[in-house]
Amino acid sequence: MIIVITSTVFTSVGIQLISNRIVTEAQEMVDLDLNSARDIYQSKLNHINDVISLTASRFYFKDALIGGNIGGTAEELVRVEQSEGLDILTITDPKGNVLLRANNIRLTGDSQSHNELVAAAIKSNGSVAGTIIVPVEDLELESQLLVDQAHLNFINTPMARVRSDTQETSGMMLEAAAPILDYQNNLIGILYGGVLLNRNYEIVDEIKRTVFQNLQYKSQDIGTATIFQDDLRISTNVKNGDSTRAIGTRVSEEVYNQVVVNGKPYIGRAYVVNNWYITAYEPIENINHQIIGILYVGILEQKYLDIKQQTVLVFLSIALIGVLVSTVLSYLLSRSISGPIKKLVLASKEVASGNLDTKVEITTTDELGKLAYTFNKMALALRERDDKLKEFTKSKIMESERLALIGQLAANVAHELNNPLQGIVTYSHLLLEELPHDDPTRDSLEKIVIQANRSRDIIRGLLDFSRQRKPDKTLCDVNNVLKGCVSLLEKQALFHNIQITSNLDEKLPLTVIDPSQIERVFINIIVNAADAMDGNGKLNLATRFDPVDHCIEVEFTDTGHGIKKENLEKIFDPFFTTKDTGHGVGLGLAISFGIIKEHKGTISVESEVGKGTTFIVRLPVTTEEESVKDEQSV
């Protein structure tokens, strides 16, 4: 679309510019041609003027006039007329009465003072020349030949100016008149003569020859010239259809109005006889500045139309070829871009839908090729990661399934062992109580009681861990719970050498917890700390409120042996213990973790081997209503 629109715009603008240029060029040329035509016309008139002036000043005619024997010069007058190619040559007396006319020697005495040139020459006592309309009466006085030459029947052509007359009888002449003076410079006569323009093609053909060099286009003259008498073609080389000269035809109304009526030149295209021409017309005036005719030059428009048409054709074909080539090129280009992009889009969709084996087949080395290469690499990397992830999850699931199975088994075993163990503990206690102090078996029985107690503890721990007893929550002060634990523990032998300090936040908000479960967590952590310090060190307890997360933080910091890095993530696992058999079961932190998780809290640890360990328990602050709501939603 862009290509078509731009080339259409450019082509039409280009065509317009060039056609206008061609037309203006032709127009300017015709305008110049009209100047040349005028020069030729004028030089013809000048020639006549020269001939008349020279002849009038000849002593031969002067002396004859002075001597009253002008009739004797007739022979010479005729000779001058013929040798100079004049149509009339006449001598009058100073009043304008004819004394001798070359064409009609016998006819004298008539007055020619109505002839404007004769009148002007008498008046000015000098020579004058100009174009003049000669009425048929005057032509008749000269010769029938001139009458016939001037007479033109109107021929109607399309576009010609409409007139009611059907013929023209008067003639248009280039004429000059000069005074004949005696030796005292008195006017003794007038010599006038000229050339009839009607049917005289000398001027127009000279224009055609010199200005247009007789050039032809499609066997028609390119350049044409015409002399009009008023609106009538009296001398022309514009041809009729039958290739006769188009004399007797008339100018168009439009040109007539412009040139004859308004007295202005007409320049532009005009319909001449039977064809369109690029034309220039200008008025021909008589010596009194009345417009009596038109001088015309014109060049055949067809030639320029054809040039224009050829230019348009060339332009159009160039544009068309341009459009075709650029359309094909841009189609190929866009296909080379959009094709790979489509492939990439499809591949992305495939990848998005989980098909990571997708590959884009683009082998180009440009940006798209690189993109495709990177895309394929990405898909491959995704697939590898996906595979690893799958494998990992698979093994994790298997492991946790196994663990769950073991847990289930352990819980069942614990449950089954609980009752018989209870019996063993009870009866071994009873036995021990009833046994005399000095009984030799007492030592062994005491060991049985200790081991039975221990077994019962393990089993209870296991049961606690596996049962996940439902918490019994109430609104509590965490500080109080912590204080309760300390007072319970500090009396025990393990804590005798441990310095317990506490930094408790007295403004700690109350929160809904199961106090006995939380107590159990705290005791686990504190006992672990005491174990880690081997009953000798400092234990700091701190509580604070975190307004950002809206939770209570309880911090236990000991100066014990710390936890090795590799053990840090294992300490919450069930049965993970570093303590000797008989001391640790490895369930304390596992159970604590479960309890804190159940309270929607977190438990975390930081430790440095040899320096100590800090456990942080975070419990959300919840009101009773919130906890009820929570319960319901669960």
DSSP string, 501-559: EEE--TTPPPEEE-HHHHHHHHHHHHHHHHHHTTT-EEEEEEEEEETTTTEEEEEEEE-
Of 380, 383, 459, whose CA–CA distance to 414 is shortest? Answer: 459
Nearer to ligand ADP among residue 212 and residue 593 (C-beta):
593
The residue from 94, 268, 535, 584 that contacts ligand ADP (CB under 6 A) is 584
Close Cβ partners of 579 (under 8 Å, ≥ 6 residues apart): 531, 586
Residue placing its CB nearer to ligand ADP in the complex, 165 or 580: 580
Interaction mask 550-579, ligand ADP, x per CB under 6 A: --------x-xxxx-------x----xxxx
Give the residue with the Cβ less far from Mg ion, 588 or 612. 588
Q: Applying CB under 6 A, does 464 fall inside the site for ligand ADP?
A: no
Paired sense of beta strands 266-272 and 232-236, if any: unpaired
Chain positions 517 to 536 lying near Mg ion, rule: CB under 5 A, are 528
Q: Minimum Å distance from CB 560 to Mg ion?
A: 12
Measured between alpha carbons, how far is 373 from 352 in angstroms, rounded to an integer? 18
- Residue 260 or 529: which CB sits closer to ligand ADP? 529
Nearest distance, CB of residue 457 and Mg ion, angstroms = 11
Binding mask 597-626 for ligand ADP (x = CB under 6 A): ----------------x-------------
Q: Is position 471 an interface residue for ligand ADP (rule: CB under 6 A)? A: no
Choosing from 511, 524, 543, 557, the residue that interacts with ligand ADP (CB under 6 A) is 524
Residues 6 or more apart whose CB falls under 8 angstroms from that of 252 comprise 159, 160, 161, 270, 271
- When the beta carbons of 294 and 532 are compared against Mg ion, the nearer one is 532
| DSSP per position, 448-511 | HHHHHHHHHHHHHHHHHHHH-PPP--EEE-HHHHHHHHHHHHTTSGGGTTEEEEEE--TTPPPE
Residue 130 contact partner, candidates ligand ADP, Mg ion, none, CB within 5 to 8 A by sort of partner: none
> Residue 513, class by beta-carbon neighbours within 10 Å (0-12 exposed, 13-18 middle, 19+ buried)?
buried
Q: Whose structure tokens read 């006038």?
A: 192
Residue 374 to residue 377: CA distance in whole angstroms: 5
348 binds, among ligand ADP, Mg ion, none (CB under 5 to 8 A by kind): none
| Residue from the set 37, 129, 589, 603 that interacts with ligand ADP by CB under 6 A | 589
Question: With CB under 6 A as the contact rule, which of the stretches 143-151, 173-181, 506-514, 525-533 interacts with ligand ADP?
Answer: 525-533
Q: How many CB atoms lie within 10 A of CB 345?
A: 12
Among 415, 586, 616, 630, binds ligand ADP (CB under 6 A): 586
Part in contact with Mg ion (CB under 5 A); list of ranges 193-201, 415-423, 587-595, 615-623: 587-595
Compute the chain's Rg from CA coordinates: 68
Q: Which of ligand ADP, Mg ion, none does residue 620 bind (CB under 5 to 8 Å by kind)?
A: none
To Mg ion, the closest distance from the beta carbon of 527 in angstroms equals: 6
Q: Does 532 contact ligand ADP by CB under 6 A? A: yes
With b for 16 or more beta-carbon neighbours within 10 A and e for fewer, the 147-173 pattern comes to bebbbbebeebeebbeeeeeebebbbb
Candidate list 130, 248, 562, 588; residue touching Mg ion; CB under 5 A: 588
Q: Is 336 helix (H, G, I), strand (E, B) or coil?
A: helix
Positions in the binding site for ligand ADP (CB under 6 A):
524, 528-529, 532, 558, 560-563, 571, 576-579, 584-590, 613
